[in-house]
């Protein structure tokens, strides 16, 4: 994280509430999703919560490697594609789930695989926002989200100390 980026730490409780809020929004869009395709790894946790809330039993993964050393986005590489069964009709009634849509590069690749699917993310940044159909919270492009699975219990400096230098 650079000095110009903002920090947005998310606790397990907050993430669970946000993922359930996303499920609630999605329940009003389609009452009968045939499958969830989660973008690994970040989409695994919200996909599990949403699958439980919406009663979806078929969960597929699409594996796209993009972040390297958690500091910058490198070249994207598809490690595992979506099954032919779900791509056959363009992903109609399929729900794509991710934790965050940042630059939109990963979302664009997955959208090409499933152009008829509904794309949902818990969080969205302005560059990725146009590729998401449903999300809960938008954060600025210069905000680094610290997800609970990436955090340990450590001292957090007061916000005022960061801005005073």
- Active site annotation includes 99: yes
The whole-model pTM stands at 0.86
Q: Classify residue 96 as exposed, middle or buried by CB count within 10 Å of its CB (0-12, 13-18, 19+).
A: buried
Helix (H) or strand (E) segment spanning residue 101? strand 94-101
Say if residue 5's pLDDT is above 80.
no
pLDDT of res. 162: 59
- How many other C-beta atoms can be found within 10 angstroms of the C-beta atom of residue 147? 19
Active site residue 102: yes
Residue 98 is a catalytic residue:
yes
CATH entry, 7-151, from 2.60.40.1840, 3.40.50.2020, 3.10.270.10, 3.20.20.10: 3.40.50.2020
Regarding predicted confidence, which is higher, 87 or 68?
A: 87
Q: What percent of the chain has pLDDT over 70?
A: 88
pLDDT-wise least confident of 27-31, 151-155, 159-163:
159-163
Question: Would the annotation count 165 as a binding residue?
Answer: no
Q: Which of the following is catalytic: 13, 98, 142, 150?
A: 98
The catalytically annotated residue of 13, 18, 93, 102 is 102
The pLDDT of residue 141? 96
Average pLDDT of the chain to the nearest whole number: 90
Residues 33-49 have pLDDT tens digits of 999 999 999 999 999 99
Give me the mean pLDDT over the 133-153 stretch: 93
């Amino acid at each position: 994280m650079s000095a110009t980026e903002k920090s947005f730490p998310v606790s397990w409780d907050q993430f669970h509430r946000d993922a359930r809020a996303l499920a609630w929004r999605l329940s009003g869009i389609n009452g009968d999703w045939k499958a969830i395709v989660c973008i690994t790894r970040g989409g695994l946790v919200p996909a599990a919560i949403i699958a439980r809330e919406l009663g979806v039993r078929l969960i597929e993964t699409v594996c796209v490697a993009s972040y390297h050393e958690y500091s910058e986005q490198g070249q994207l590489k598809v490690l595992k594609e979506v099954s032919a069964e779900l791509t056959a009709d363009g992903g109609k009634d399929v729900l794509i789930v991710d934790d965050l849509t940042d630059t939109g590069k990963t979302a664009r690749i997955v959208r090409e695989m499933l152009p008829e699917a509904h794309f949902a993310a818990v969080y969205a940044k302005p560059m990725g926002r146009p590729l998401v159909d449903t999300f809960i919270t938008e954060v600025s492009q210069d905000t680094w989200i610290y997800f609970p699975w990436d955090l340990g219990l450590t001292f957090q400096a007061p916000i005022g100390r960061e801005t005073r230098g």
